[in-house]
Structure 1
Amino acid sequence: MQRRHYGTLAAVAALSMAFTLTGCGAGSGSGNDVTLKLVAADYGSGEANTSQKYWDDLAAAFEKKNPGISVEVDVRSWKDVDRDVAEMVANDQAPDMAQIGAYADFAAEDRLYRTDELLPIPTQANFLPLLNQAGEVDRVQYGMPFAASTRLLFFNRKLFADAGLQPPKTWEDIRAAAAKLKADGVTYPFALPLGTEESQAETMMWMLSGGGGYRDAVNSEYDIDSAANVETFTWLRDKLVKPGLTGPTAPGHLDRQAAFEAFTKGEVGMLNGHPTLMEAAEKAGVDFGMVPLPSPDGAATSSMGVADWMMAFKQNGHREEIGRFLQFVYRDENVLAFSDAYDILPVTVTASTEMESDAKHSKLKPFLEELPTSELYPVGKTSWAKVSKSVKANIGKAVTENGDPEAVLSGIAKEAAEAEAAEAATSAK
């Protein structure tokens, strides 16, 4: 990771222990007999490594230091958690905090505390600059980054060696390798998860690889049905899906977790993955390599970065208690404990620097190096939650045998424009 982001902030972050929440203006209650409710996403793959254990241990440690404040954490699947929180908010049953994938629509509805109402300046300044900026709506930060990752192309070294293959550098290399792996009987030569779990990520990776993206490079407006994006999904349809190189499950019905599990069973030749896949593959005894997702001609392109967000709702009025808890959450030892448990990249300067210098995290360095210059989802747009939902529901149709990538992408773009227009109308009132 490039240290130029960190040197000037390390000393500032070290001051955080000297600040209290009174110093940053928080103070809505006495801190006695309050129960905070947090709804959080599960980063585990099952009961054995569910995030519930992490949060239960963290809450117990916090409660020991803060008598009178209890924390109840409800951990839910990534498939459900964003929708569940939205339903809670719509029913006037917002939790005190939510750790999910998007925050901007709640911020636009004036439901969230600003970050500076909750955390002292040194804690705010310790977030990685890219993530701090991504947590803003109209230059005010509401989303606090909780976990980050970037993506690389994973490949099974044994399957590649058996087939006499080298790591791919171009899209044609991917196609040719997948064809050879299929001939060798590999179940998923290239796993392409465009199902409802996290297809917005797979979509963005391929868009960036093809020179496109969700937004244009000039004014950051949506450009979902750009010529580059249409060309990318036409290539996926014609070169990977139609020839049967993506396995027995249609991409639109293949979820990320199922693809990851197949990789750990040795059934996948290649797939895009994040750091969590490393530990699962290692435990399963899979020898794997990692390279940036190739581009059509092998030239370097932007990588995708992902941040998941912590937010605090104003409905229950527990600002001081929420602030105390979140300051505890963002202590280095707690940030690193979560990162260690799930091979997730830390979101703070000091924790990232510590991870980078620790030899036991050497395999995470390729991901860490990608993060400062990666491109994130347009999470600062209040329309993003609706756009992401549309991508999850529709993108798989673009690569079916009779799919029409241009029509599918245009349909998603239309929903994005409608969401943007609704946002503008709301702002004008």
Structure 2
Amino acid sequence: MKLTRRILAGVAIGGYVALTAGAAWAKTELTFWSWRQEDKAFYQDIIKKFEAKEPEILVKFETYAPENYQTILSTALAAGRGPDVIQVRAYGNLETIATPGYLLALDQQNAPELANFPAPALAAETLRADGKVYAVPFAMQAQLVVYNKKIFKDAGLNPPKTWDELVTVAQALKAKNIAPFANGTATAWQNETIIGGLLSSMLGKQFEEDIVSGKANFTDPRFVNALAKLKDISQYFSPNFTGVDYPSSQQFFVAGRAAMFAGGSYEVANFKSQNPALDLGVFPAPVLKAGDQALIATYYDGGYAVNAKSDKKDAALKFVRFLATPEYGTAFTNTLKNLSPIKGIKVEDAITQDVAKLADNSMSYLMLVRFRYQEPSGSVLLQANVQKMLAGQQTPEQAAAEINKGIATYYKPFQK
């Protein structure tokens, strides 16, 4: 609601009105939607800092369940409603709401802070059809392995560097009645994060280049063999892992009942908030053989956008520009343990510093970055078929063939 200046009270004296309570000045109230329910306390604190700088603007923060967010948001925007400021996802999911014109295009004139970001971060928030940026990027995420340092130390183990070392570590932990991995596969999307965390080094940058250029497809032996390795290591996942969903796998790790969690760097802050006593570390996906390059899988998680139909665009832009400053990026990184892509931030947290170093050697979180623009989404294909493979319903070859078949329906390099 936007309030106009008004006379609160007055007393008529000789034909004039004497003010008794003064005037109330306008305040603009912005609505800000997000799927990051676990980050609510952080955003509420950030909003207080922004409101202190901009006392004429109020920001109301609202969150929705991650699995329902995109549908709720798209429905509201299609009806000409929705929030003034939107936390949007990147790549293909951005395009679904930018293409219909729901978002305000950003440029160096209305958002000069875009200069604070590297080109790949801006590309993740760019609509390919017009080349315009529609959101200020908020995080670079990494898929890797989070591990419990105390469990490793007590067991006399070091983080594995090769796949054979990973198997040896898993066997040693199991022999001590310690679950090697907390991961389950009942939540379909978790299967994609597991692949990013465990198989990136084995697949490698050259595989990604060959896939993008069309020199290879997903029936390539490199991909099939990597899936076979994943199938083998899954025996060390959470007990009855095919029935364990994402929240349950998180709680299993937080409780200190498992040594490793294959997933995202974004897990660290959540784990630590639930159990501050956890001593955690991270390591990249193990290489197939010593001497190979260890990699993590990275992507840009999303951004902050302005609703094109908001009648408070000026205020919304002020808030979005604030979310693009090094001041904000530093707070974001050090509080949430997620790497902000904003240039000039100071990373204080030791684990986040480790993630930043690992990010120097990375490949794309492949399906999200490359194949989530059309249907059937590469991510959905990967998640569903790997889930079946790990449940014993498909072989690695069958899973790879189904993934390739779906992507080939629209990806011309695979249609040769």
Bucket of the pairwise TM-score, normalised by the shorter protein: 0.7 to 0.9
Query: Structure 2: which amino acid aligns with 1:55?
Result: Y
Pick from 12, 37, 41 the counterpart of residue 53 of structure 1: 41
Aligned CA RMSD, in angstroms, stands at: 3.4
- Do residues 397 (structure 1) and 385 (structure 2) align? no
- Select 2:95's aligned residue among 101, 104, 124: 104
CA distance in structure 2 between the partners assigned to 1:420 and 1:36 by the alignment = 41
Instruction: Give the structure 1 partner of residue 255 of structure 2.
Output: 265
Structure 2 CA distance, aligned partners of 1:169 and 1:83? 41
Q: Quick check: 70-79 or 154-163, which moved more?
A: 154-163
The answer (yes or no) to whether the contact 1:224–1:410 under 8 Å persists in 2 is yes
Aligned residue pairs, count: 373
Question: Hey, which of these two has a bigger chunk of strand by percent?
Answer: 2
String of CA shifts for 1:128-184, please: whole Å, max 9, x gaps.
343123333334322421122324323334433444433212112212221221222
Structure 1 SS opposite 2:399: helix
1:343 positional shift: 1.0
Identify the residue that residue 228 of structure 1 maps to in structure 2: 222
The alignment status of 1:127 with 2:120, answered yes or no, reads: no
What is the CA–CA distance in structure 1 between the aligned matches of 2:336 and 2:376, rounded to whole Å?
25
- Correspondent of 2:70 among 72, 75, 82: 82
Q: Displacement, 1:114?
A: 2.0
Task: State the AA in 2 paired with 1:266.
Answer: G
Per-residue deviation, 1:294: 0.4
Could you tell me the TM-score, scaled by structure 2's length? 0.76
Aligned to 1:23: none
Any conservation in 1 of the 2:144–2:198 contact (CA below 8 Å)? no
Report the residue type matching 2:236 in the other structure. L
Q: State the TM-score, normalized to the length of structure 1.
A: 0.74
Q: Of residues 36, 50, 55 in structure 2, which corresponds to 1:42?
A: 36
- Distance in 1 between the 2:202 and 2:288 partners? 7
Amino acid at match of 1:388: S
Give the equivalent residue in structure 2 for 1:184: 176
CA contact (8 A) 1:153 1:273 kept: yes
Q: Which runs of 5+ in 1 are unaligned?
A: 1-30, 45-50, 422-429
Residue 48 (structure 1) aligns with: none
Aligned counterpart, 1:250:
241
**Alignment equivalent of 2:151, drawn from 122, 145, 159:** 159
2:323 counterpart of 1:335? no
Query: 8 Å contact 1:157–1:289 — kept in the other structure?
Result: yes
Does residue 210 (structure 1) correspond to residue 202 (structure 2)? The answer is: yes
Q: Specify which of 340, 345, 354 is matched with residue 346 of structure 1.
A: 340
Amino acid of the structure 2 residue aligned with 1:203: I
TM-aligned CA distance change 1:259 to 1:140, over 3 Å: same
**Alpha carbons 1:118, 1:320 under 8 Å: kept:** no
Conservation of the 8 A alpha-carbon contact between 2:389 and 2:399: yes
Residue of structure 2 in register with 1:6 after alignment: none
Q: 1:141 aligns with which of 118, 133, 140?
A: 133
CA 1:165–1:131 in structure 2 vs 1: closer, same or farther (change >3 Å)?
A: same
What letter matches 1:336 in structure 2? Answer: T
8 A Cα contact 2:199 2:285, kept in partner: no
Alignment-mate amino acid for residue 256 of structure 2 = G
Deviation of the 1:371 alpha carbon: 2.9
CA distance in 2, matches of 1:32, 1:416: 53
Q: Looking at both structures, which has the greater relative contact order when contacts are Cα pairs under 8 Å and sequence separation is at least 6? A: 1
1:92 positional shift: 4.5
